[in-house]
């Protein structure tokens, strides 16, 4: 399976690709997780958007990246998502590796903070993220803040 990685600012989104991103985020974060919330939060305009497409042009995975001070005091990775039909290929791991590498390349090596769903603590921990602060509930789902030094 060939994966094409792209990292683009919001203003460079072709309309159909933006539609695919918003559709995938809605499919997973709202429908699959049964969590009605406002996904379109006006922060997309500040983010860089990391996309993985297959050879047919289908969106397989996505994350948004923020430089320090745009979302948290530290650089940040968020909206980490893999389309359901591609989860069995280890694409989540590849996505996080790409996201961390892009943050380091684009903004320089630095701490990265994420707000992670609690059940994914071990997954993010495998990339060097450690819990900081107290657990919290966001949109009815337990979360933790994690920091990668």
Q: What is the CATH number of the domain that holds 103?
A: 3.40.630.30
Mean per-residue pLDDT of the chain: 95
| Per-residue CA distances from 139 to 24, 32, 34, 37, 136 (Å) | 18, 14, 10, 7, 10
HEC-encoded secondary structure of the chain: CCCEEEEEEHHHCCHHHHHHHHHHHHHHHHHHCCCCCCCCCCCCCCCEEEEEECCCCCEEEEEEEECCCCCCCCEEEEEEEECHHHHHHCHHHHHHHHHHHHHHHHHCCCCEEEEEEHHHHHHHHCCCEEEEEEEEEECCEEEEEEEEC
Domain range for residue 67?
A: 4-148
pLDDT per position as a tens digit, 77-88: 999 999 999 999
pLDDT per position as a tens digit, 98-139: 999 999 999 999 999 999 999 999 999 999 999 999 999 988
pLDDT at 121: 97
pTM: 0.94
Q: What is the count of structural domains for the chain?
A: 1
pLDDT tier for residue 1 given thresholds of 50, 70 and 90: confident
**Residues 14, 21: Cα–Cα separation, whole Å:** 11
Please state which of the ranges 26-30, 47-51, 114-118, 121-125 shows the lowest mean pLDDT.
26-30
Please determine, for residue 24, whether its predicted confidence score (pLDDT) is greater than 90: yes
């Amino acid at each position: 399976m060939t994966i094409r990685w792209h990292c683009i600012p919001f203003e460079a989104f072709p309309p159909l690709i933006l539609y695919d991103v918003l559709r995938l985020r809605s499919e997973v974060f709202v429908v699959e997780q049964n969590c009605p919330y406002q996904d379109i939060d006006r922060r997309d305009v500040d983010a860089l958007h990391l996309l993985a497409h297959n050879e047919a042009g289908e969106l397989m995975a996505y994350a948004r990246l923020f430089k320090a001070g745009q979302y948290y005091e530290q650089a940040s990775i968020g909206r980490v998502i893999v389309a359901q039909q591609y989860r069995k290929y280890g694409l989540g791991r590849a996505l996080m590796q790409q996201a961390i590498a892009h943050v380091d390349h684009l903004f320089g090596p630095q701490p990265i903070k994420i707000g992670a769903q609690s059940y994914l603590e071990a997954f993010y921990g495998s990339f060097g993220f450690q819990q900081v602060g107290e657990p919290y509930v966001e949109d009815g789902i337990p979360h933790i803040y994690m920091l990668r030094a």
